[in-house]
Amino acid sequence: MRLLRAELTKLCRPLTYAIAAAAIGASVMFAWQGVKNASRAERQPAGASPPPTCRDFSLPAGSLCQEAISVEVRVRAFQQQQAATQPSTRHNARPSDALPVEQPLAAGKLALGFMASLPGALLIVLLAAGHVGNEWNGRTIKTVLCQEGRRWRVLAAKVASLWVAATAIVAADWVVLGAVSPILKAAYPLGGAGLSWSSAWSAVAADAARTPLIIAVFSCFGLAAAVIVRNALGAFALAGAVILTSLMVAGNFSAVAPWTLTWWVAGWMQFRPHGYVIYHFWVDGFPAGLHNPGALVGLVGLVGVAAGAALAAVTVFGHIDITT
């Protein structure tokens, strides 16, 4: 606990505050934009839009215009049919998908999804790079190891402090979104009475239970990168590159997608295609022939990633000479 307290004290720094501000600011912006779009869509659903005219296409009346109107009518009919038969997607989302953002408890879904996906991954590895990698940049690693020689304990305290800090950022984000939700509801009402507290809890409980593991995995990942590279900037570059590569590979190569961090995160968090509100920044789907992974597969994969990263960090840190 003493080591953890020391690490948490070190995290009381401008970098941490900036990361928290960035996470909260971005979440609020996405909430606002999502609710605004949903509200607009609700007021003017696709089926109720006025019939197209030649003026809409900037065409003179005639056969060409009639052909364009005919195509537009067929497209709208197809979109309505898609919306009725498929879950919400980016193109045919339902405004009701945005309801959680207008309920203080359920608004946390956005904060949790934000931190459990790409922005959270990058922010956590940035925090890890600054917190761990900077021990070499600032030459303070020798000060630490002159006090506590059991290097694995130093790493354990580091990763625990990263997890605590990232979780605190999610909590702060949740609180801010909860405070903003009544304002969004007043500005962009989505109709109906909104979500009840029990419905709100149902909407957010699973994400709240699953996100801490993702934060732990990202923390281990950032820690390993920082120990291997032993430089703040290099650690961020390495970890960020691996995460982005994983996303690109998983989205394009079906043979290797099931062996990527992207696959396991998507499986554990049960991310689904989003609608008007972007509840996560992860892949919407995998290459043809691959179904979304289950939570158990995700859990096993993530535990493996965390264990591998921790093992790499302990092995490297246990054997290096501190010459800074």
Partner 1 sequence: MSAIRCRGLTKRYGGRSVVVALDLEVDHGELFGFLGPNGAGKTTTARMLLGLVKPDAGEAWVLGSRVPCPQRLPEIGAMVEEPAFYPWLSGRRNLRIIGDEGGPLPVGAVEEALELAGIAGAAGRKVKTYSQGMRQRLGLAAALLRRPAVVLLDEPANGLDPAGIRDLRATLRRLADTGTAVFLSSHLLDEVEQVCDRVAVIDRGRLVSVGTVSELGGVGERIRVTVQPAETAAACTALCAWTVTSDATAQVLVVGATGREVNQTLAGAGIYASALVAERASLEERFLAITQGEHHAPAAG
* 5 vs 43 by CB, closer to partner 1: 5
Contacts to partner 1 from residues 267-286, by CB under 8 A: none
* 68 vs 145 by CB, closer to partner 1: 145
Residue type, 116: A
Q: How far apart are CA 182 and CA 174, in angstroms?
A: 13
Q: How far is the CB of 231 from partner 1 (least distance, A)?
A: 15
Q: How far is the CB of 165 from partner 1 (least distance, A)?
A: 15
Q: Does 244 bind partner 1 (CB under 8 A)?
A: no
Residue type, 285: G
Q: Does 43 bind partner 1 (CB under 8 A)?
A: no
**Near partner 1 by CB under 8 A: residue from 84, 146, 186, 193:** 146
Instruction: Encode burial over 160-178: b for 16+ CB neighbours within 10 A, e otherwise.
Output: bbbbbbbbebbeebbebbb
The packing angle between helices 197-229 and 151-187, to 10°, is 140
Q: How far apart are CA 275 and CA 37, in angstroms?
A: 10
Q: Does 196 bind partner 1 (CB under 8 A)?
A: no
Q: How far is the CB of 159 from partner 1 (least distance, A)?
A: 16
**Is residue 149 within 8 Å of 260, Cβ to Cβ?**
no
**Near partner 1 by CB under 8 A: residue from 41, 145, 172, 237:** 145
**Interface map 301-320 toward partner 1 (x if CB under 8 A):** ------------------x-
Residue type, 52: P
**Is residue 271 within 8 Å of 156, Cβ to Cβ?**
no
Q: How far is the CB of 147 from partner 1 (least distance, A)?
A: 4
Q: Does 289 bind partner 1 (CB under 8 A)?
A: no
Total Cβ atoms within 10 A of residue 318: 12
The closest of 127, 129, 135, 168 to 154, measured between CA atoms, is 135
The closest of 30, 31, 34, 52 to 42, measured between CA atoms, is 34
* 43 vs 139 by CB, closer to partner 1: 139
* 10 vs 272 by CB, closer to partner 1: 10
**Is residue 224 within 8 Å of 313, Cβ to Cβ?**
yes
Q: How far is the CB of 46 from partner 1 (least distance, A)?
A: 53
Q: Does 55 bind partner 1 (CB under 8 A)?
A: no
**Interface map 100-139 toward partner 1 (x if CB under 8 A):** --------------------------------------xx
Name the segment binding partner 1 (CB under 8 A); options: 24-32, 147-155, 201-209, 268-276: 147-155
DSSP designation for 130: I
* 55 vs 150 by CB, closer to partner 1: 150
Residues composing the chain: 324
* 67 vs 148 by CB, closer to partner 1: 148
Contacts to partner 1 from residues 9-38, by CB under 8 A: 9-10, 12-14
Q: Does 3 bind partner 1 (CB under 8 A)?
A: yes
Residue 50's Cβ-count burial label (10 Å; 0-12, 13-18, 19+) is exposed
Contacts to partner 1 from residues 148-187, by CB under 8 A: 148-150
**Near partner 1 by CB under 8 A: residue from 140, 196, 245, 254:** 140
Instruction: Encode burial over 77-92: b for 16+ CB neighbours within 10 A, e otherwise.
Output: eeeeeebeeeebeeeb
Binding site for partner 1 (CB under 8 A): 2-3, 5-6, 9-10, 12-14, 138-140, 142-150, 319, 321-323
